[in-house]
Structure 1
Amino acid sequence: MKRSCIITLIISLAAILSAEPCASAQETAPEGYEYVDSVVYRPAAAVDSSLVGQDIFRSVSVSQSELVERSVKKHIESNAKRTINGYRVRIFFDNRQTARSESEQTIKKFVNMFHDVSAYRTYTNPYFKVTVGDCRTKSEAMALLARIKGAFPSAFVVKENINYPIVDKDNAYVVDTVKVLRPKK
Structure 2
Amino acid sequence: MSTDLEGLQVAILATDGVEQVEILEPMKALRGAGADVKVVSLKTGTIQAMNNDVEPGERITVDADLSVDPELFDALVLPGGTTNPDKLRVSEDAVDFVQHFVDNDKPIAAICHGPWMLIEADAVDGVQLTSWPSLRTDIENAGGEWVDEPCVRDGLLVTSRKPADLPEFCRQMIELFGEDADEDEEG
TM-score, normalised via structure 2 length: 0.22
Greater CA radius of gyration, 1 or 2? 1
Q: Which has the higher helix share?
A: 2
Query: Which structure's relative contact order is higher, taking Cα pairs within 8 Å and 6+ residues apart?
Result: 1
TM-score, normalised via structure 1 length: 0.22
